[in-house]
Amino acid sequence: MLREITIGDLLDETAGQYPEKEALVYHERGLRYSFAQFQDICNQAARGFLSLGIQKGENIAIWATNVPEWVISQYATAKMGGVLVTVNTSYRTHELEYLLRQSESTTLLLIDSYRDANYLGMLREICPELDTCEPGKLHSARLPHLKNVIYIGEERQPGMFLWQDLMERANLIQEEERIARQQSLAPDDVINMQYTSGTTGFPKGVMLSHTNIVNNAIKVAECQRLGVQDRVCIPVPFFHCFGCVMGTLACVATGATMVPVIAFDPGIVLLVVEKERCTALYGVPTMFIAELNHPTFAERDLSSLRTGIMAGSLCPIEVMKNVVHKMGIRDITIAYGQTESSPVITQTVPEDSIERKVSTVGRPHAGVEAKVIDPVTGESLPQGVQGELCTRGYLVMKGYYNMPEQTAQAIDAEGWLHTGDLATMDEDGYFQITGRLKDMIIRGGENIYPREVEEFLYTHPKVLDIQVVGVPDPKYGEQVLACIRVKPGEALTEEEVLEYCHGKIARFKIPRYIQVVDEYPMTASGKIQKFKLREQAIQSLGLQGDTGIETA
């Protein structure tokens, strides 16, 4: 059964049921809100946004780490009908300018900086007019739609409102006006827009409705058996669906407590889980690997952990065993999907075996259709035969913002979303993701799926993490490159790797090139950028001239 409810009404419903229950806890800031307090502050912020003259359906961008104002803005904008446009925390000036222009955002909220990126400096570079304009009256040559900039910080900035100004401006708007606006919203309205990472072409703004993400959050929570007693540690970024749908929205849908971490740090995650007695933990495999290998891991009491989600990339079996047995997350679930599907299509459940959790991504959520097709003919394929995974149902996005052609390429005339992922389905309806259509390595006519080689090399006792990509080759078209992170204190030679492979996997699958690396290029949401590994290897191995294959 789908719920036809807006995000604002969902929060009001939960706050009505559990007013005194902790809704939001920031251990790092000593900040705690009950659901009643959280509801009040979101209503206040919603009136603040209304005071700026923001209309229903207007786009409001946010460029920040997992700070408290991010969560408040998520629910405040949902209550007054602004579409929250989430900005990747690793963006730089070119990407920021593109997103703000393409999304036609009229308002931007931002923090001062993150890691080595000076957000304020970058925005001023694009918008020099900020230095001389009144807050709320920006006229930018490069960003013609942008009018309001709200700084999430204490120090007053030229041309910008402070967050505190926004909260104080709430007094200019009657609560009746906010209620009327909230009541005018429909579940099918677009309320969230997230930009795909753009590994091919320009990033696209994925338009998601209340119905899309509320129902996905509910189903994600059901697969974990989340309830009012749970406390969910959320170290994954809010700008991604993993953080703001599977994380914060799943908590509000069930009455569970949100326990965010402002920016991922494995030591802080372990501390927060222990001190806040978190029952659920989210992360991509690389996050769990970092936590398991952190110097303080053995000292931490993680006995409260029961469930959680691992998603973003496929999990090696050794990592999964350690998460279950060493971290004690016996009911960990694996989720698979993409932003265009709100995001989760399939998910395992606690009862699934550990083998199922590493070899499959579970079964489709209730009410979701999924099939495997021949990418050339479009015909449905039988069980066990690899093809492209497609999905249909409430979870499919409304489309890409102002990109009708790209929308038509992604969603066919019958409403099926084409994921671009290769998959098989077994007799029990479990799906296995075998790669990306474009990640498959074709060496001398042989199809090689990186996942298969990665799974094998994970069994080497010195390997901490591994990524396999294809690189150009004049004779075979492509060759296999293995980029290996070695366990702390270990050394691994190319000869050891080749000897380990010999006689165990087909000769054509054995890596032609082996590189030991300290880290992988990552997106801010924790996904490994294989295309960058490939580009770096082409440079370092001098393979530019080997084929006509483009490196970009």
Q: Which of 206, 239, 268 is the last residue of a domain?
A: 206
Among candidates 244, 247, 242, which has minimal Cα distance to 257?
Answer: 247
Average pLDDT over residues 520-531: 84
pLDDT tens profile 16-31:
999 999 999 999 999 9
In the three-class reduction of DSSP (H, G, I as helix; E, B as strand; rest coil), residue 82 is classed as coil
Average pLDDT over residues 327-355: 96
* DSSP output for 521-543: -B-TTS-B-HHHHHHHHHHHTT-
Residue 515 has pLDDT above 90, yes or no: yes
Q: Which of 206, 224, 252 is the last residue of a domain?
A: 206
| pLDDT value at residue 283 | 95
In a domain, 106, yes or no: yes
Q: What's the CATH code of the domain at 98? A: 3.40.50.980
In a domain, 357, yes or no: no
> Any idea which of 409-418, 485-494, 520-529 has the lowest mean pLDDT?
520-529
Average pLDDT over residues 295-314: 94
Residues 372, 423 contacting (CB under 8 angstroms): yes
Percent of the chain with pLDDT over 90: 82
CA distance 280 to 273: 9
CA distance 197 to 199: 6
Q: What's the CATH code of the domain at 464? A: 3.30.300.30
Backbone angles phi, psi at 199, to 5 degrees: -70, -20
| pLDDT value at residue 286 | 86
Average pLDDT over residues 520-549: 79
In a domain, 381, yes or no: no
pLDDT tens profile 26-85:
999 999 999 999 999 999 999 999 999 999 999 999 999 999 999 999 999 999 999 999
CA distance 182 to 6: 9
In a domain, 459, yes or no: yes
**Rounded mean pLDDT of the chain?**
93
Residue that the structure tokens 């009136």 belong to: 47
| pLDDT value at residue 452 | 78
Residue 231 has pLDDT above 50, yes or no: yes
Q: Which of 150, 183, 206 is the last residue of a domain?
A: 206
* Count of CB atoms situated within 10 Å of the CB of 544: 11
CA distance 374 to 378: 5
* pLDDT level of residue 529 (50, 70, 90 thresholds): confident
pLDDT tens profile 439-449:
778 787 676 87
| pLDDT value at residue 244 | 98
| pLDDT value at residue 551 | 25
Number of domains in the chain: 2
In a domain, 45, yes or no: yes
* DSSP output for 367-378: T-EEEEE-TTT-
In a domain, 155, yes or no: yes
In a domain, 455, yes or no: yes
In a domain, 483, yes or no: yes
| pLDDT value at residue 120 | 98
Could you write out the three-class secondary structure of 264-310?
CCHHHHHHHHHHHCCCEEEECHHHHHHHHCCCCHHHCCCCCCCEEEE
Give the helix/strand (H/E) hosting 25.
Answer: strand 22-26
Residue that the structure tokens 């309001």 belong to: 148
Domain span including residue 518: 447-540
